[in-house]
């Protein structure tokens, strides 16, 4: 028989304002197994914890029921208190009478009744609790970073500098990501490549960093401290060891018509290519879809002229299997395609560009050599219109529900860059609100408006009309309260930031939760912003939500620190609330194995001694290191052999009975 102590918390007026604490405490005293009950203003305070420890000692308690806030808040606190008092930490139950009760009810009487019922359920469960002992597992001292943009690079550098090995897996042929495509950065207008490329080189040269470019993560299994990952290194058709990066193959390649991904399709590249001059590694890739050799079997010119015999058309994808202690997701974003907003003529008129395309056009190494021109006729534009919030801040049916956060600033940047280079071009910006929270951000935007004469117009553009060879912008000027038209030569759409399209599959592989916009969810939006709820998975950069470069770099560092917190440990303490199989009851049906999201259940042939009756049976076994205690198997099991320690079927039913008892 348990000797239970019940402790009811006021939480100041948070609980006591709605729940009659005294009544709950008194009625707890009458519950089976309860030998002591008490209340306290703040149970989580040092005084509250001391009261619990004294009561354990004085009354010889074997279990503690705390009626307080959500177990997400202080379950750990009270488990530690129990341990300090000499109890097994799993002899603690929490009745959530705050979030589940006092905060959501107004009527004192019914709130008190509900609090009493929740208290009873916790005590009923506690009567069946048994001490549990967590297992330990080791930590592989190596980190995997998925994505090689500025977020991934920074995270990898920080981990590597701390002395641990890191692999970066990047799906494109080079690291650098979106930042490599940018011309200048706000709010300082410094050259993006000038500050990024040294970091790319650092990553490539770091002894602790291995780069896997043109590679993707194929498969992930395992758990924090010990993830097994299969990386698919796609066939480059170029031998990485032999290639010296001379670029002769690129010059000689007769195919010159493939769209350059790096220039957002605004320029053409050869079939064998490096994305840009400072690519890391500087090893070309054969784009097999566009290569004549792969399409028709003819050509092979690159192979003939390569001085180091590095071209290898027979090269196959290579699968690399490796163990990691932690995984950091840094998959970044892509700009939303504005084609669905047909009123803005994107894809219909060559003079309508996305901001990223415009960024490439303004870049000296870009498709026009940094010369601003209308792609319809190669003439210099006289008037440019920027449209903000294209696809952002929309109803879910019409676009992205969030503010993409960076567009106001990069549009101000674009406007200024145009004015700096071509003071005679008229620049108009249509905005709904100009959002500039950030250090020196509003000053930057004001500079565009005040010093550079950028014409900011409050109001959305309704439609572009292709009239007389120009783009007639039909819009609202909300401050004047009228419809206006502006004839523009170039229109730039500030398109929403969108999570990388293939990231949902990765999220599933990692069992890391994502929101409806395919951004990875953080474990706590305020207090654990760089951790995924899945242990050992960390989030770096825009994969978690739109952010600018300084924020991305800050988060990348934070993710590295959190990852190092695990890498620096030799042992991880597991969660003892995991599934176990009663082999006598197991009928070998595989239901549990099929529903387990972690692959923690295996079947083995085993001799079972059933009351002296020995036979060989196929039975389920739970890998304690992998099981996360989700309980899916216990629900799926038809024979009732699967049970979850700490949440056994008996315990759950006891809670239900207690709740239903009148």
Partner 1 sequence: MEYLYYPGCTLKTKAKELDAYAVKSMKALGVDFKEFDDWQCCGAVYPQAKDEIAARLSSIRALDEARKEKRDLLTICSACFHVMKRVNFDIASDIDIRTKANNYLELDIQYAGESKVFHFLEMLRDDIGFDKLKNHVVNPLTGRKIGAYYGCLLLRPSDVMQFDDTENPTIIEDFIRAIGAEPIVYSYRNECCGSYSALKNKDLVQNLSRNIINSAIQKGAESLITACPLCRYGLMQNDDLPVYYFTELLAEALGVK
Partner 2 sequence: MSASALNDIREEVLRISGANPKKCMSCGKCSASCPASFEMDILPHHFVKNIRDGNIENLLKSKTLWKCLSCFACVERCPRAVEPANLVEAVRLAVIRKKGENYLKVDDIPEFIELDNEIPQQLIVSAFRKYSK
Chain residues binding partner 2 by CB under 8 A are 343, 389, 393-395, 397-399, 432, 458-463, 474-476, 478, 481-483
Is residue 90 within 8 Å of 132, Cβ to Cβ? yes
Residue indicated by tokens 């609202």: 476
Q: How many angstroms separate the CA atoms of 258 and 87, rounded? A: 69
Nearer to partner 1, 180 or 471 (CB): 471
Among 46, 207, 289, 468, binds partner 1 (CB under 8 A): 468
Q: What is the DSSP string of 550-578?
A: HHHHHHHHHHHHHHHHHHT-SEEE--S--
What does 204 interact with, of partner 1, partner 2, none (CB < 5 to 8 A by kind)? none
Question: Quick one: what does residue 467 bind among partner 2, partner 1, none, with the CB cut-off 5 to 8 Å set by partner type?
Answer: partner 1
Using the rule CB under 8 A, is 466 a contact of partner 1? yes
Q: Minimum Å distance from CB 504 to partner 2? A: 24
Query: Measuring CA to CA, which residue among 367, 342, 364 is closest to residue 352?
Result: 342
For 364, the 3-state DSSP assignment is: coil
DSSP reduced 3-state for 105: coil
> Binding segment for partner 1 among 58-66, 233-241, 247-255, 337-345 (CB under 8 A)?
337-345
- 396/527 with CB nearer partner 1: 396
Minimal distance in Å, beta carbon 341 to partner 2?
A: 8
Residue 395 Cβ vs partner 1, minimum distance, rounded to whole Å? 12
Shortest Å distance, C-beta 381 to partner 2: 22
Instruction: Say how far apart CA 609 and CA 607 lie, in whole Å.
Output: 7
For residue 350, the surrounding DSSP H or E stretch is none
Helix (H) or strand (E) holding 390: strand 383-390
| Contact partner at residue 465 from partner 2, partner 1, none, CB < 5 to 8 Å by partner kind | partner 1
The strand pair at 92-96 and 63-68 is best described as: parallel
Site string for partner 1, 341-380 (x = CB under 8 A): xxx----x--------------------------------
Report the C-alpha gap between 501 and 232 in whole angstroms.
Answer: 19
Classify the C-alpha dihedral 299-305-306-309 as positive or negative. Answer: positive
Residue 495: burial class (beta carbons within 10 Å; 0-12, 13-18, 19+) = buried
Residue 482 interacting entry, from partner 1, partner 2, none, C-beta within 5 to 8 Å by type: partner 2
CB 547 within 8 A of CB 406: yes
Q: How far apart are CA 184 and CA 190, in angstroms?
A: 5
Q: Which C-beta is closer to partner 2: that of 461 or that of 572?
A: 461
- What is residue 151's three-state secondary structure? helix
Helices (H) and strands (E) in the chain, counts: 19, 34
Stretch in the footprint of partner 1 (CB under 8 A) among 28-36, 89-97, 432-440, 466-474: 466-474
- List Cβ neighbours of 252 (8 Å cut-off, separation of 6 or more): 301, 302, 305
In this complex, which beta carbon is closest to partner 1, that of residue 397 or of residue 439? 397
Beta carbon of residue 347, minimum distance to partner 1 (angstroms, whole number): 9
Using DSSP, state whether 292 is helix, strand or coil: helix
Residue 81 vs 411, nearer CB to partner 2: 411
Contact stretch for partner 1 (CB under 8 A) within 88-96, 257-265, 467-475, 497-505? 467-475
Looking at beta carbons only, is 48 or 338 nearer to partner 1? 338
- Output the smallest distance, CB 376 to partner 2, in A: 24
Q: What, of partner 2, partner 1, none, does residue 487 touch, CB below 5 to 8 Å by kind? A: none
Among 465, 509, 554, 585, binds partner 1 (CB under 8 A): 465
Q: Which is nearer to partner 1, 350 or 423 (CB)?
A: 350
| Class of residue 190 by CB neighbours under 10 A (exposed 0-12, middle 13-18, buried 19+) | exposed
Q: In this chain, which stretch among 68-76, 208-216, 458-466, 594-602 interacts with partner 1, using CB under 8 A?
A: 458-466
Bridge partner residues of 34 (DSSP):
4
Q: List residues near partner 1 by CB under 8 A.
A: 341-343, 348, 397, 463-468, 472
């Amino acid at each position: 028989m348990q000797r239970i102590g019940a402790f009811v918390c006021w939480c100041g007026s948070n609980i006591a304002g709605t729940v009659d604490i005294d009544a709950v405490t008194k009625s707890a005293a009458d519950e089976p197994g309860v030998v002591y009950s008490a209340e306290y203003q703040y149970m989580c305070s040092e005084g509250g914890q001391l009261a619990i420890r004294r009561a354990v000692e004085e009354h010889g308690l074997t279990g503690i029921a705390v009626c307080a806030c959500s177990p997400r808040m202080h379950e750990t606190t009270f488990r530690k208190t129990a341990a300090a008092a000499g109890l097994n930490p799993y002899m603690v139950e929490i009745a959530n009478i705050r979030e589940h009760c006092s905060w959501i009810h107004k009527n004192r009487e019914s709130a008190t009744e509900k609090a009493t019922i929740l208290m009873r359920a916790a005590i009923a469960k506690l009567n069946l609790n048994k001490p549990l002992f967590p297992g330990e597992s080791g930590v592989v001292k190596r980190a995997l970073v998925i994505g090689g943009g500025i977020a991934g690079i920074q995270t990898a550098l920080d981990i590597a500098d701390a002395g641990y090995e890191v692999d970066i897996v990047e799906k494109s042929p080079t690291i650098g990501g979106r930042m490599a495509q940018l011309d200048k950065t706000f709010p300082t207008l410094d050259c993006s490549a000038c500050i990024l490329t040294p970091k790319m080189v650092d990553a490539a040269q770091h002894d602790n960093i291995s780069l896997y470019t043109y590679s993707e993560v194929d498969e992930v299994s395992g758990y924090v401290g010990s993830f097994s990952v299969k990386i698919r290194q796609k066939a480059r058709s170029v031998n990485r060891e032999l290639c010296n990066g001379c670029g002769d193959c690129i010059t000689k390649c007769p195919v010159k018509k493939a769209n350059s991904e790096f220039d957002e399709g605004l320029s053409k590249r050869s079939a064998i290519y490096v994305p840009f001059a400072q690519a890391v590694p500087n090893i070309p890739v054969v784009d097999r879809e566009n290569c004549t050799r792969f399409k028709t079997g003819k050509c092979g010119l690159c192979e003939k002229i390569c001085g180091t015999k590095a071209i290898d058309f027979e090269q196959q994808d290579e699968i690399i299997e490796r163990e990691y202690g932690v995984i950091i997701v840094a998959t970044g974003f892509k700009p939303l395609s504005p084609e669905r907003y047909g009123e803005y003529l994107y894809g219909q008129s060559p003079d309508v560009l996305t901001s990223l395309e415009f960024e490439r056009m303004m870049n000296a190494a870009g498709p026009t050599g940094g010369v601003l021109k209308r792609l319809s006729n190669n003439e210099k534009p006289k008037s440019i219109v920027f449209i903000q919030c294209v696809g952002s801040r929309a109803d879910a049916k019409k676009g992205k529900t969030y503010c993409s956060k960076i567009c106001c600033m990069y549009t101000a940047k674009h406007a200024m860059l145009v004015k700096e280079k071509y003071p005679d071009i008229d620049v108009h910006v249509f905005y709904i609100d100009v959002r500039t929270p950030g250090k020196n951000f509003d000053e930057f935007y004001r500079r565009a408006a005040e010093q550079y004469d950028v014409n900011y117009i409050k109001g959305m553009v309704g439609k572009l009309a292709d009239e007389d060879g120009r783009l007639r912008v039909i819009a609202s000027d909300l401050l004047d309260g009228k419809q206006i038209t502006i004839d523009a030569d170039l229109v730039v759409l500030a398109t929403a930031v969108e999570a990388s399209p293939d990231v949902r599959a990765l999220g599933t592989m990692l069992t890391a939760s994502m929101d409806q916009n395919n951004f990875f969810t953080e474990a706590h939006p305020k207090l654990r912003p760089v951790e995924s709820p899945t242990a050992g998975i960390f989030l770096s950069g825009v994969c978690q939500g739109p952010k600018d470069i300084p924020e991305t770099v800050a988060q990348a560092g934070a993710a590295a620190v959190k990852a190092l917190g695990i890498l620096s440990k030799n042992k991880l303490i597991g969660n003892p609330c995991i599934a176990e199989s009663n082999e006598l009851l197991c009928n070998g049906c595989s239901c549990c194995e099929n529903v387990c999201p972690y692959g923690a259940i295996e079947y083995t042939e085993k001799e079972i001694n059933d009351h002296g009756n020995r036979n060989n049976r196929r039975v389920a076994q739970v890998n304690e290191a992998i099981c996360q205690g989700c309980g899916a198997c216990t629900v799926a099991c038809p024979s009732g052999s699967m049970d979850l320690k700490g949440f056994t079927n008996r315990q759950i039913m006891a809670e239900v009975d207690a709740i239903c008892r009148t």
